Amino acid sequence: MKEQLIKDFEAEFGKGGEIRTYFAPGRVNLIGEHTDYNGGHVFPCALTIGTYFIVRKRDDRKLRFFSKNFAKFGVIDASLDKLEPTGDNSWINYPMGVMWALEDKGYKISNGFDMLLFGNIPNGSGLSSSASVEVGTGTFLNDYYGFNLTPDKIALIGQYSENNFNKVNCGIMDQFAIAMGKKDNAIFLDTADLSYTYAPLKLEGAKIVIACSNKKRGLGDSKYNERRAECEQALSELQSVVKINSLGELTEQQFEQYKDAIKSPVRQRRAKHAVYENQRTIKAVEALKNNQIEEFGKLMIASHDSLRDDYEVTGIELDTLVEESLKQKGVIGSRMTGAGFGGCTVSIVKDDAIDAFIENVGSAYKAKIGYAADFYVVEIGDGARKI
């Protein structure tokens, strides 16, 4: 892979100079959805699929980008002297945003570069191709310019760029999981203070299977920002009766005690999801520690039900994938993962049932939705790095 990508780079940008290569994974969140901007816990892991970066520093301030995934656009020219969003060829807004964020934080980028990208994360799948590009860009700039940023700081730069350059109010989970990933471990992250522990993912006799609905979505033009605003308003209403800084501070019992302070039934449901999902995530990690994988699966299913009924971010595609998954033998748990409105589901499936699972769920999905889903049996890998 690396050797071929270097050849592709030289075909676009010419030979010579020091060429460096980097990799940033995608991520999947096993449980804890829409909690990361509500001060709650999440439980993501980095994958072995992701984004490759082939980079060579230039002597001037020009930037030249080429993506093998968007080859029809050819080489796109930009400049360090004009770091601002572009409506056309919008994929370059992710690396450009990270450069803008670094400069905004006082880290000066003196030279431009040529960069080739190749991602084997399905675009728009909800496996965080955008955050992968952000963290990968931060990783190679940190290496090239000696900024001495730790991986968690690179994650925060990625989030800052997406919030302020790309105008998507994402939480920290995606960037953190991609920067801090550890092979065969998920990350139990408290998004309120970024404290975390690694939890070995021991799925004896089972694997993680991701089903991509192939319904494309974009976070910025979805209802993601609307959900976040609803939770912020619900929090403000709750703060009139209880002293909290985030919804993640409440237990289920406390929420039921104070929920009538939230004046809208819709906002009440949104806040309920944030509170209950956070508690489900805490329970799920405890279940995993105690090798109670069946209990972990039940909590995954309850998570999906809440995302469907209280948070309303699933849709017919994701609901169909989960419903059909739960009909199959050997399925321990299944839920949507990511922001929703399309994207993927994540299921834990026993090894001897995986082939039938993919065949049966795939057939039922295509019959109902009219087009095919894609399936990935994934492994858990390390975070962003030079390769």
pTM: 0.90
Greatest Cα pair distance, the chain, in angstroms, is 67
Looking from the CA of 207 toward its CB, the CA atoms found within 13 Å total 17
For residue 263, what are the CA distances in angstroms to 101, 177, 236? 38, 35, 11
User: How would you class 77 by CB atoms within 10 Å of its CB: exposed for 0-12, middle for 13-18, buried for 19 or more?
Assistant: exposed
88 catalytic? Reply is no
First-last CA distance in the chain: 11
Q: Which of 36, 174, 190, 310 is catalytic?
A: 174
CATH of range 2-201; options 3.40.50.2300, 3.40.50.300, 3.30.930.10, 3.30.230.10: 3.30.230.10
**pLDDT 10s per residue in the chain (387 long)?**
899 999 999 999 999 999 999 999 999 999 999 999 999 999 999 999 999 999 999 999 999 999 999 999 999 999 999 999 987 668 999 999 999 999 999 999 999 999 999 999 876 666 778 999 999 999 999 999 999 999 999 999 999 999 999 988 888 999 999 999 999 999 999 999 999 999 998 888 999 999 999 986 655 456 888 999 999 999 999 999 999 999 999 999 999 999 999 999 999 999 999 999 999 999 999 999 999 999 999 999 999 999 999 999 999 999 999 999 999 999 999 999 988 888 899 999 999 999 999 999 999 999 999 999 999 999 999 999 999
Helices 151-164 and 129-145: crossing angle, nearest 10°?
Answer: 120
In eight-state DSSP terms, residue 344 is E
For residue 156, what are the CA distances in angstroms to 102, 114, 161, 172, 345? 10, 24, 9, 7, 26
Q: Determine the Cα–Cα distance for residues 180 and 138; give it in Å rounded to an integer.
A: 13
Contact 250, 275 (CB under 8 A): yes
